[in-house]
A and B are shown apart, each in its own frame.
Chain A
């Protein structure tokens, strides 16, 4: 019962049954409208003619015989009735007799009106169309013309074939139902495949795919499933790669630390070199700390919702520069400010601060000494456009699309001696994405790199501006 095929099949069968029922009712209606109406007209016509032969006063034997003679040759059954008992003349009295016409009909007839009845008549034990016309003299109902035609002649025909009709209707409905079921099963086969695939996916088999056989909704669903599966698989792969990279990144400093500490412990290191070794150990430990901090940041930020508010871009940039002034001084770098001081964005201040730190740190890291770092902030449509330009080593064009990937290295040969965790830009990209902003890079090797950050302007600022 839960299968769609069964449900649709049932729906179709129901529709067929309703249609058959409707057709039957319609046929019945047309039969009654056309055939019965036709018979009624014919009976009334004959009745009117016979009625005109009646002259006032009691209905005579001759008249009764006349009608009887007509009856012999007519297709219809016609007779004149003059027994007052049959005409409900005794109505106020209980005469224990089933009269031919009822008291209400008698009233109609006395007024000179005729009436038609369709249905079962007990006296004749069959279904009839009956037309009764009065033979009335003034207000005296002297008699009636009782005319009828058995409906049975038509319904009997139908009843004879009704059995076959019913059987064929049942067989037809059954066949249609079977056909529907087969077709529906065929149509819904991909659905079952899809269901199996979903179960496999749930069980962790991310390489599961379904074959797309058609372009219909089911086909589209299969296609969408495959896309989703691919996406999940990529996500899963990325996760695995990330973990592998993290392990790898950690392994190098750990092996350094382990190796040097072993040497120290066993006393193989001459005293004058011990200090140098300890510095190496400390440096590697610092790198591990940075790495784990960055990972923690990534993970924690993923879990925490944004805490949005108004952020003054100029102020924030200066604050970040202040935080990094030591590093700037070390390399004798200086910042060129081109700021729109009124710039307000709608953002999570701590995350924007972190991402700016990461970007400016990179600029510092890859700048040649004594060079300027240009920081521009202005309006670009609905965004605040922040540019951080260094005159550093630049990034080769083929590496540009990958710089935000976790642990991606522009210079594959380079060690971590430059102090990067390999996650800085990944964090930046993630934060900007969270803010529905954009991050693009513009770089010429050995000339410099410009990072373009676009973050949504604060609505109030926007309105004020307009």
Chain B
């Protein structure tokens, strides 16, 4: 009896480390929606079939895959982040981070996780065991991130600067001017470009996507994509920009919108996966599968699908 109590108290002390969620087979490719209104993660296959649902106890606001086999979850409100193993569904690690985390990136080359924190206005580098390697002070409210060639490109959301950080030395190497309240960043390696969207400041809704030179930060193009383009994805031939203000998905070729597709209600996330586009409608709670620039499938999700995580 004593041992059971001891075991139970230990379990409580480590925060119920024994919590297990349904497993996701290692070879299974999936698209997962992170639903933030009532916290859960739903895994779907390429046909839109629901594989499994992870009902979460905490309000996690973002997720990133670590080495394709683990899912790292963070919360803007919580000073902890968690790591689940997909194959077993087990909670395998808990990291202590500061509250205010706005985004996470997995840097496989340097075996680290990069977190942006809007309360301390820093970019944090963590080893995969959860120990912090470095804190890099940046501008006001770092959030959107992309990486290329050992550099992390950080959008400072409530500022007018994009910070470029060397991921090995963990130093800010340069800053480029951008629009305030920018959000959504995508790097086109082939074209050596950075695409940046945004909400716009105050009552004004941003309508533009800015394309910058990846090396110099010079603005190359401005593409109108109203209202409030906040996420950008690319296929081998096209870019797609999702504008949540008017529920529009813009297909872009050669910096020209070739088609506008009305999709979802208040969609925030777009992704290109398994030769199809994916859009999550936040208000209508639907995951859209789009092929040949037309909606091919609608799949209902739990409340508030906000982010898409894909694995090939």
Residues of A within 8 Å of B306, CB to CB, are 92
Q: Size of chain A's interface in residues, with CB distance under 8 A?
A: 19
Q: Could you say which residues of chain B place their CB within 8 Å of the CB of A139? A: 265, 281, 283-286
Closest partner residue, chain B, to A96 (CB atom): B158
B281 engages A84 (CB within 8 Å): no
The 8 Å CB contact of B266, one of A86, A94, A140, is A140
What residues on A are CB-neighbors of B284 within 8 Å?
138-140
Given contacts A83-B205, A96-B158, A141-B265, contact A90 B228 (CB under 8 A): yes
Decide yes or no: A140 and B265 within 8 Å by CB, A58-B246, A92-B36 being known contacts.
yes
A85 at the interface (CB under 8 A from B): yes
CB contact list, B56-91 vs A, under 8 A = 61
- How far is A92 from B75 in the complex, measured between Cα atoms in Å? 12
CA distance A106 to B286 in the complex (A): 17
A140 touching B199, Cβ below 8 Å:
no
Chain A residues within an 8 Å CB radius of B126: none
Residues 82 to 108 of chain A near chain B (Cβ within 8 Å): 83-86, 89-90, 92-97, 106
In the complex with contacts A84-B244, A90-B228, A92-B61, A141-B203 CB distance below 8 A: no
Whether the Cβ atoms of B183 and A89 lie closer than 8 Å is no
Task: Confirm or deny: B212 has a beta carbon within 8 angstroms of a beta carbon on chain A.
Answer: no
**Distance of A110 Cα from B285 Cα, bound (Å):** 12
Asked whether, in the complex, the Cβ of A89 is within 8 Å of the Cβ of B203, the reply is: no
Any A CB within 8 A of the CB of B202? yes
Contact B244 A90 (CB under 8 A): yes
Partner among A84, A92, A94, A106 whose Cβ is within 8 Å of the Cβ of B245: A84
**Main secondary structure on chain B at its contact with chain A?**
loop
- Kindly identify which residue among B199, B227, B281 contacts A93, using a CB–CB cutoff of 8 Å: B199
Contact with A95, one of B181, B227, B286 (Cβ below 8 angstroms): B181
From known contacts A90-B244, A92-B306, infer whether A140 and B202 are also in contact, taking CB-CB under 8 Å: no
Interface string of B75-119 (1 = CB under 8 A from A): 000000000000000000000000000000000000000000010
| Residue contact A140 to B247, C-beta cutoff 8 Å | yes
Nearest Cβ in chain B — how far from A90, in angstroms? 6
> Cα distance A83–B228 when bound, in Å?
11
User: With an 8 A cutoff between CB atoms, is B268 at the interface?
Assistant: yes
Task: Look across to chain B and name the residue whose beta carbon is closest to the beta carbon of A86.
Answer: B203
Question: How many residues of chain B get a CB closer than 8 Å to chain A's CBs?
Answer: 31
Q: Considering the complex, give the chain A residue whose CB is closest to the CB of B203.
A: A85
B residues near A138, Cβ cutoff 8 Å:
265, 284
Cα distance A404–B48 when bound, in Å?
A: 121
Closest Cβ of chain A to B8, distance in Å, is 37
Residues of B within 8 Å of A92, CB to CB, are 36, 61, 268, 282, 304, 306
Interface residues of A in 27-85 (CB under 8 A from B): 58, 83-85
Quick check: B283 and A141 within 8 Å, CB to CB?
A: yes
Residue of A nearest to B246 (CB): A58
> Known: A90-B228, A92-B36. Contact between A141 and B199, CB under 8 A?
no
Q: Is the interface of A mostly helix, strand, loop or mixed?
A: loop
Taking a contact as CB atoms under 8 Å apart, the answer to whether B265 and A90 are in contact is no
Q: Which residues of A are found within 8 Å of B281, using beta-carbon distances?
A: 139
CB distance from A274 to the nearest CB of B (A): 118
- Shortest B119–chain A CB gap in Å is 11
- Residues in A whose Cβ lies below 8 Å from that of B230: 93
CA of A138 to CA of B263 in the docked complex: distance in angstroms? 11
Q: How far is the CA of A144 from the CA of B228 in the complex (A)?
A: 19
A412 to chain B, nearest CB (A): 107
Q: Report B-chain residues with C-beta under 8 Å of the C-beta of A141.
A: 265-266, 283
Q: Which of B36, B247, B282, B306 has the most CB of A within 10 A?
A: B247
Q: Is the CB of B202 within 8 A of A93?
A: no
Which residues of A sit under 8 angstroms from B227, Cβ to Cβ?
A: 84
- For B157, B265, B268, B285, the residue with the greatest tally of chain A CB atoms inside 10 Å of its CB is B265
**CB proximity of A134 to chain B, nearest CB, Å:** 11
Residues of A within 8 A of B183 (CB): 93
Residue of A89, A94, A141 most packed against chain B (CB within 10 A): A89
A271 nearest CB across to chain B (Å):
123
Alpha-carbon separation in the docked complex, A237 to B103 (Å): 107
Name the B residues within 8 Å of A95 (CB-CB): 181, 199
Alpha-carbon distance between A94 and B103 when the two chains are bound, in angstroms:
14
A89 and B244 contact, CB distance less than 8 A: yes
A63 to chain B, nearest CB (A): 15
Nearest CB on B from A332, distance (A): 109
Give the distance in Å from the alpha carbon of A106 to the alpha carbon of B282 in the complex: 12
Within 8 Å CB of B141, what residues of A? Answer: 94
Interface centre among A83, A95, A141 (most CB of B within 10 A): A95
Instruction: For residue A410, give the distance in angstroms from its CB to the closest CB of chain B.
Output: 103
Contacts of B283 in A (CB 8 A): 106, 110, 139-141
- Docked Cα-Cα span, A440 to B230, in Å, equals 118
The residue in chain B whose Cβ has the minimal distance to the Cβ of A106 is: B283
B19 to chain A: closest CB distance in Å? 25
How many angstroms from the CA of A156 to the CA of B61 in the assembled complex? 46
CB distance from A41 to the nearest CB of B (A): 29
* B268 cross-chain contacts in A, Cβ below 8 A: 92
Report the bound CA distance from A138 to B286 in whole Å: 12
- Closest-by-CB residue of B relative to A136 is B265
Across the two chains, which residue of chain B brings its CB closest to A88?
A: B266
Known: A84-B227, A90-B228, A93-B183. 20 other contacts (CB 8 A): A84-B266, A85-B199, A85-B203, A85-B228, A86-B203, A89-B244, A90-B199, A92-B36, A92-B268, A92-B306, A96-B202, A138-B265, A138-B284, A139-B265, A139-B281, A139-B283, A139-B286, A140-B266, A140-B283, A141-B265
Q: List 8 A-B contacts (CB under 8 A).
A: A84-B228, A85-B228, A89-B228, A89-B244, A97-B202, A97-B203, A140-B247, A141-B265
Which 3 A-B pairs give the minimum distances between C-beta atoms?
A: A139-B284, A139-B265, A84-B245
